[in-house]
Amino acid sequence: MNHETDAVKVYFFPFLGGGHQIPMIDTARVFAKHGVTSTILTTPSNAAQFQNSITRDQKSNLPIIIYTLTTPENTQLPEIGMSAGPMTDTSVLLEPVKQLLLQHRPDCIVVDMFHRWAGDIIGELKVPMIVFNGNGCFPRCVLENMRKYVVFENLSSDSESFIVPGLPDRVEMTRSQVPSFRRNKSEFTDRMTQIEEKSLGIVINSFYDLEPVYADYIRNELGKKRWLVGPVSLYNSSVEDKKERGKQPTIDEQSCLNWLNSKKSNSVLYISFGSVACLPMKQLKEIAYGLEASDQPFIWVVGKIFNSSKSDDQTCSENWVLDEFEKRMKEMDKGLILRGWAPQLLILEHDAVGGFMTHCGWNSTLEGVCAGVPLITWPLSAEQFINEKLVTDVLRIGVQVGSREWGSWEEERKELVGREKVEFAVKKLMVESEEVEEMRRRVKSIAEKAKRAVEEGGSSYGDIDALIQELKNLQNGKDV
C-alpha cells in the first residue's frame, strides 16, 4: 500500500440505493486500504445498511468513517432505502452537504451521478469532484454515442434496429431496448452530462482487461479522465463482508450453502434480478414452469412482486402457484426459492453454481464474471440491455433469454418472457455442450484477470494509486 497518501481526504457521496450504493461503499473502503481518509456521506437509514462492515474496517485500523447527513426539521428526508430509482430527487441533501463542505474541505468528493443537482454546489465551493457512474466502460461509450448520433424519431418503430455509430464493435439495438429517458433529450440526462463535465473525471467499477478498447475509447475518443478501480466486489475477502454486502441477508446463508454443498460442481443455476426489479406474478409463474421443465437444480431469489390492480382472489391463487412450486421443488430437492436479501457473492462463488440468470445490472454482471460463471441475460431496465450486448456479443460468455422491451421498474411490464424461452435458455446454459464449455473457459479466464487487476501490481490497484497521486499533486498546487 502507498503509505505516502495518509493526508489525502476523500468524501464519498453514494446514491441512496442498492445497485449504486453497494459498489461506492466498497470503493470508499478500498481507498481507505490505500491510505486515504475516507468519509462516506449518507442518511441514517442508509448508513445502517453497511455500518457493520465499516465497523469491522475501523477495528482493523482503516481510516474510514460514516458521516450521517441530517436535514432541517420538517424536511422530508427520502426514506427510500434500497429501492431508490435514478429519478429519485435527493436535492433535500444539498444543504447539509454544502454545510459540511464549508466546514471541512476534503481534497476531493466522489459523487454518484444520480445526485445530479450536486455539481453546481460543489463547483461553487471549488471542491475537486469525481463522478461515480455506476456502470462500466462499454455501456458508458454506447450511451454517449447514442446520445450524440442517434435520432430516435427517425426510426420507424420501436422494433427497428439501428447500429450505434462510431464504436469499436458493431452494437445493434432497438428503440424498445433503450431507456425511455434516453430516447429524447431530457433534463435528467443533461444534468448527468453536466455533472461529469464539471468533474476531474470518472471512477469506474470495472477493470482494464474486461473491456480494454472501451476503457481506451473513453480516454482517447471521449476525452475523459477515468480510473478503473474494480471489480470492487473482490475487495470483500471475509465471509462476513461477503454475507452482509449491501444489506443484512434475510436468509440463513448456512442452510443455503449446505444445500449447495450437496450438489455437483457447476450444476446449479442461480437466478436473481437485483435489488429493485419488480416482476409481476404471471412472469414469476412462467419462470417457475420454465425451470421445472428444464429439470436443472436452481436457487431463485424472488424479489419484489409487482402489485397490479388485480383482485385479492386472483393474487391469492397466483401466490398459491408459487407456494406449491416451492414445496414441490423442495420435496424433489431440485431447487431453493429465497425470499428477501440473498448473500449473492457467497452463492455465486460456490463451486456448485454453474450459471447465473441475471437482469444484467452492472454489479451482478461483474460479480458473475468474477465468479467465473456464464450468464443467462434477462435485461429489464436502466442500461441493462447494453450490458447484455457486452456479455453475449462482445465477451461471448452468455445466452439471451429473449427479453426485448425496456421498462421502468415502477410500471407493469407489457412483455412476458414465456416458459418455453426460459426452459430453452436454461437447458442451453446448464446442459453441457462444446459451446458452453467454450463460454466457461472464456469467463474463467476473465475472472482470473479480474483477480489480478485488484492485486498489488494489477491495473485497478495502479489506477487507485494514480488517482491518489493526482489528488496529492492538486493538494500541492501542481497541475493535474
Site residues for ligand UDP per CB under 6 A? 18-19, 22, 245-246, 272, 274-276, 301, 341-342, 344, 361-364, 367
- Tell me if 296 sits within 8 A of 426, measured CB to CB: yes
341: closest CA among 302, 312, 294, 298?
A: 302
Cα–Cα distance for residue pair 86/91, rounded to 1 Å: 13
What φ, ψ does residue 212 adopt, rounded to 5°? -60, -40
Cα–Cα distance for residue pair 409/388, rounded to 1 Å: 18
222: closest CA among 243, 196, 247?
A: 196
Cell numbers standing for residue 154: 427517425
**In the complex, what is the shortest distance from the CB of residue 298 to ligand UDP, in angstroms, rounded to a whole number?**
15
Q: Which is nearer to ligand UDP, 5 or 49 (CB)?
A: 49
90: closest CA among 51, 119, 128, 116?
A: 116
Catalytic annotation present for 34: no
**In the complex, what is the shortest distance from the CB of residue 30 to ligand UDP, in angstroms, rounded to a whole number?**
15
**In the complex, what is the shortest distance from the CB of residue 261 to ligand UDP, in angstroms, rounded to a whole number?**
20
Q: Which is nearer to ligand UDP, 230 or 361 (CB)?
A: 361
Return the bridge partners of 278, or none.
304
CA dihedral over 439, 445, 446, 451, signed as positive or negative? positive
**In the complex, what is the shortest distance from the CB of residue 435 to ligand UDP, in angstroms, rounded to a whole number?**
25
Of 57, 112, 209, 465, catalytic? 112
Cα–Cα distance for residue pair 145/129, rounded to 1 Å: 24
130: closest CA among 197, 36, 217?
A: 197
Other C-beta atoms within 10 Å of 392: how many? 18
Q: Which is nearer to ligand UDP, 37 or 387 (CB)?
A: 387
**In the complex, what is the shortest distance from the CB of residue 395 to ligand UDP, in angstroms, rounded to a whole number?**
16
Q: Which is nearer to ligand UDP, 245 or 440 (CB)?
A: 245
| All residues at 6 or more sequence positions from 378 whose CB lies less than 8 Å from its CB, including other chains | 273, 357, 358, 359, 360, 401, 403, 417
Between the alpha carbon of residue 388 and those of residues 173, 214, 419, the distances in Å are: 11, 15, 20
Chain residue at closest Cβ approach to ligand UDP = 19
Segments of 114-187 assigned E as strands = 129-132, 161-163, 172-174
DSSP string, 349-381: TSTTEEEEEE---HHHHHHHHHTT--EEE---S
**In the complex, what is the shortest distance from the CB of residue 225 to ligand UDP, in angstroms, rounded to a whole number?**
24
Q: Which is nearer to ligand UDP, 162 or 378 (CB)?
A: 378
**In the complex, what is the shortest distance from the CB of residue 271 to ligand UDP, in angstroms, rounded to a whole number?**
11
**In the complex, what is the shortest distance from the CB of residue 337 to ligand UDP, in angstroms, rounded to a whole number?**
12
- Going by the DSSP 8-state scheme, the letter that residue 152 receives in this structure is G
What φ, ψ does residue 431 adopt, rounded to 5°? -90, 125
- Tell me if 39 sits within 8 A of 11, measured CB to CB: yes
Return the bridge partners of 10, or none.
38, 108
Q: Which is nearer to ligand UDP, 253 or 412 (CB)?
A: 253
Q: Which is nearer to ligand UDP, 100 or 278 (CB)?
A: 278
Q: Which is nearer to ligand UDP, 268 or 342 (CB)?
A: 342
- Crossing angle of helices 18-33 and 44-59, rounded to 10°: 30
123: Cα within 13 Å, side-chain hemisphere: 13
Q: Which is nearer to ligand UDP, 18 or 355 (CB)?
A: 18
Q: Which residues are catalytically annotated?
A: 20, 112
